[in-house]
Structure 1
Amino acid sequence: MKTVNYKKFGLQAGDIVLDLGCGEGRHVISAYLEGDVHAVGVDLSHQDLKTTAERFEPFAQEQEDKAFGLSVANALQLPFADNTFDKVICSEVLEHIPDWEGALDEIRRVLKPGGNFCASVPRAWPEKVCWHFSDEYHAMEGGHLRIFDEGEFRCAIELRDFHFYAKHWAHALHSPFWWLKCIFWKTQESNRLIKLYHRFLVWDLMDKPWLTRTLERCLNPLLGKSVVLYFRKGV
C-alpha cells in the first residue's frame, strides 16, 4: 500500500533513495521496482527488516544500475555520511518518534542539496476520531505519540531549509476501517463488520478495481487518513 506518489516525488534513474523507518518494506521495495535506483531501507526492528528481505526476494536482480540494501539504524543517528541521498522517504514514522525534530535534522544532514524529501503523517482530524474512541490505539507500545497539525508540521520542515512544492492526501478508504477498530477495540478480532471491511480492503489492494480506486481518489481530500508533503532541500 504505497503512500508516496513517485511522479510527484521526481524519482529518477540513478537516484540513491533512503526509506527511513521502512517497516516491512512497502516503499523501499516499490522505489526499487519503480526505476533504476539504489534503494536503502532502515528501521529499528530486526523482524520488520527480515520481513522486508523476504518480500524482496522475488524481485532481486543482478543489475549494475540498481541496488537494494537494508540496515538496522536509529533515525537520530543515521550511519551515513552527509549529503548521501538524492531522495528521502519518511512515511508514517515521525508520529512514533519522541524526538521527531531530531529525526528531521538527520534527514536534512544525509540528503543532498537540491534533493527531495517526502514526509507523510496521519492527518489530524481522522486521527482525532481514533484517539477519541480508543486510548489503546495510541497508548500501546509503539503507538502514536502525537497528532500533527499540518501547518505546524510543514513549518518545522521548512525551517530546516526545505522548500515545500506539493501535497496530497491518501488512504481515504482506510479511515472508516480504523474508526471501527477503535470503536470496537476490545472485540475487534471477532467483530464481523471489521472482518468484512478488512476483506474489502484486501480486495482493493490486490485487485485494484477501477471503482474503488476512483472512489478513493474522490474521497481523499475529505477522508484521507494520511497527509503527504513533498519538499526540496535548499542548494
Structure 2
Amino acid sequence: MLTVDFTRFPLAPGDRVLDLGCGAGRHAFECYRRGAHVVALDRDGDEVRTVAGWLAAMREAGEAPAGAAAVAIEGDAFALPFPDETFDAVIISEVMEHIPDDKGVLAELVRVLKPGGRIAVTVPRYGPERVCWALSDAYHQVEGGHIRIYRPRQLLARIREAGLRPYGSHWAHALHSPYWWLKCAFGVDNDKALPVRAYHKLLVWDIMKKPMATRIAEDVLNPLIGKSFVVYATKPRRPRQVRA
C-alpha cells in the first residue's frame, strides 16, 4: 500500500533515494523496483533488519532491474550519515507527526537533497486524525506516538520555511479512515472486535485484488476523508553565476 504517488514523484533508473523512517519498507521496495539506488533508514533496528531481508529476497527473485541497488540501515534522522547533496529524491512518510523538532528533521533532509531534487512528505490528515484522537487517548498517548496533527497550510508552511518549493499535493487512503475509527472506538489493541475484524478483511481483500469498484470509491472519498495528506516539493537549483 503506497502513499506516495510515483506518477507525481517520478524516479529515473540510478536515482539515489532516501526513504527516511522507512518502517516496513513499502516505499523503499517500490523505489528499488523502479531501478533506484535506495537507502532505507530507520531508528528501529528490528524494522531495518526485516527490510534488509526483504530487499535481499527481492534481489534474489529478480524483482529489481539490473543496476538497481538497495540497503537498509539504522540511523538518526537529525544526524544523517551522508554528505551534503547526496540524494536525488527523499521520502518521509508518516514520520513528522512523531517528531518534536519537525523543523530540524526537514533541515537535515534539505541538506542531503541535491538542488533540483524532489521530496515527498506524508502525514495523517487533520480531520480523520482528529476523530481518532477524540475516540481514543491510547491511539496517540503512547511512547513514540503522534504528538501533533497538521492542517494542510501548516505542513505547507513548514516545507516552504525549509527552503523547499511545493509543486503538488493530494489525499490518500480514504478507505482506511473508517478502519482506524473502528479501532479507536473498540480499543486500539482489540483486533478481535467483529467490526474491526470484518473491516480489516475488506481492506486486505482490496489491497490484494484492487477491484475497480473500491478504486473508484477511494478516488471519490479521498478529498473528503483521505487518511493521509501528501505534499511534493523540490529543492531550488542554485542560480548560475555569470562570468564578467
Give the structure-2-normalised TM-score: 0.92
Task: Look up the match of 1:164.
Answer: 166
Q: How does 1:96-175 map to 2 (within 5 A)?
A: 96-175=98-177
AA partner of residue 38 (structure 1): H
Task: Look up the match of 2:183.
Answer: 181
Task: Look up the match of 2:37.
Answer: 38
Query: Residue 102 of structure 1: SS of its match in structure 2?
Result: helix
Task: Look up the match of 2:242.
Answer: none
- Encode CA deviations 1:56-84: one digit per residue, 9 max, x unaligned: 23311596521001110111111110000
Aligned mate of 1:226, from 221, 225, 228: 228
- Encode CA deviations 1:212-231: one digit per residue, 9 max, x unaligned: 11111111111100000000
Query: Residue 8 of structure 2: SS of its match in structure 1?
Result: helix
Contact 2:17–2:37 (CA<8 Å) still a contact in 1?
Answer: yes
Contact 2:35–2:66 (CA<8 Å) still a contact in 1?
Answer: no
Pairwise CA distance, 1:186: 6.3
State the distance in 1 between where 2:65 and 2:232 align.
29
AA partner of residue 17 (structure 1): V
AA partner of residue 45 (structure 1): D
Q: How does 1:45-84 map to 2 (within 5 A)?
A: 45-60=44-59, 61=62, 65-84=67-86
C-alpha RMSD over aligned residues: 1.4
After the TM superposition, which of the residue ranges 14-23 and 180-189 deviates more from structure 2? 180-189
After the TM superposition, which of the residue ranges 194-203 and 46-55 deviates more from structure 2? 46-55
State the distance in 1 between where 2:71 and 2:57 align.
15
**The structure with more radius of gyration:** 2
State the distance in 1 between where 2:91 and 2:15 align.
13
Task: Look up the match of 1:86.
Answer: 88
Task: Look up the match of 1:13.
Answer: 13
- Where does structure 1 lack aligned partners over 5 or more consecutive residues? none
Query: Residue 39 of structure 2: SS of its match in structure 1?
Result: strand
Give the structure-1-normalised TM-score: 0.96
- Encode CA deviations 1:142-183: one digit per residue, 9 max, x unaligned: 210111121011111112221110111000000000001111
Moved >4 Å (runs of 4+):
61-64
State the distance in 2 between where 1:92 and 1:202 align.
20
Query: Residue 149 of structure 2: SS of its match in structure 1?
Result: coil
- Where does structure 2 lack aligned partners over 5 or more consecutive residues? 238-244
Contact 2:182–2:196 (CA<8 Å) still a contact in 1?
Answer: yes
Aligned residues: 234
State the distance in 1 between where 2:188 and 2:51 align.
30
Q: Give aligned-pair identity as a percent.
A: 47
Task: Look up the match of 2:213.
Answer: 211
State the distance in 2 between where 1:56 and 1:3 align.
19
Higher helix proportion (structure 1 or 2): 1
AA partner of residue 134 (structure 1): S
